[in-house]
Amino acid sequence: MATPSPIAVRRIQRELSDITKNPIPGISAYPVDDDLLRWDGKVVGSSDSPYKGGSFKFEMTFPPEFPFKAPAVKFTTRIYHPGINEEGSICVPILRDEWKPTVSIATVLSVIQEKVNNPSPDDPYEPEIAAQLKSEEAKFMATAKEWTKKYAS
């Protein structure tokens, strides 16, 4: 297990305190045991998305170099989504090439929540699902709802 830098520890502790005091409705994430670098999270499908009623779990792993390197996010609950692949990786630029050390954990959580609840065929991890969303939206919605019921209820 890698040892986080003192900068990472201070930053993560401060931001954990912030999101504990000001939680974001519909999404949460907290350290696993006493490991500040490993968090478990959960995003709830919003009432206007095909994921309504679902609770999707994810893991967020911070590199020891945080905030200079982005955390990695991996969904552990299966989800039928153009921006989340079969392995659970989520396709959001803020966790890749648009990462900046000033990005807060709360911002990351908000972006994850937005991505989950607003599936878009743009910048997909799953091109086939994105194509279905574009050309057969009703079929996409039905499958997304079915998977939500099957895996996230």
Name the residue range of residue 100's domain.
Answer: 6-152
Q: How many domains does the chain have?
A: 1
Q: What is the pTM of this model?
A: 0.94
Answer yes or no: 47 catalytic: no
Q: Residue 31's domain is classified under what CATH number?
A: 3.10.110.10
**Type of residue found at 98:** E
Residue 1 lies in a domain: no
Residue 142 lies in a domain: yes
**Are the beta carbons of 40 and 59 closer than 8 angstroms?**
yes
Write out the two tokens for 122.
């743009």
Share of the chain above pLDDT 70, in %: 99
86 contacts: CB under 8 Å, gap ≥ 6: 126
Of residues 40, 145, 125, 27, the one with CA closest to residue 84: 125
Paired strand residues for 72: 61
Residue 60 lies in a domain: yes
DSSP character at residue 47: T
Which tens digits make up the pLDDT trace of 116-144? Answer: 999 999 878 999 999 999 999 999 999 99
- 136 φψ region: left (φ > 0), alpha (ψ -120 to 50), beta (else): beta
Q: What mean pLDDT comes out for the span 75-80?
A: 98
CA distance 117 to 50: 8
Which tens digits make up the pLDDT trace of 4-54? Answer: 889 999 999 999 999 999 999 999 999 999 899 999 999 999 999 999 999
Residue 123 lies in a domain: yes
| In the predicted structure, residue 2 carries a pLDDT above the cut 80 | no
- Residue carrying structure tokens 């099957």: 150
Q: Which of 27, 91, 105, 144 is catalytic?
A: 91
DSSP 99-116: --TT--HHHHHHHHHHHH
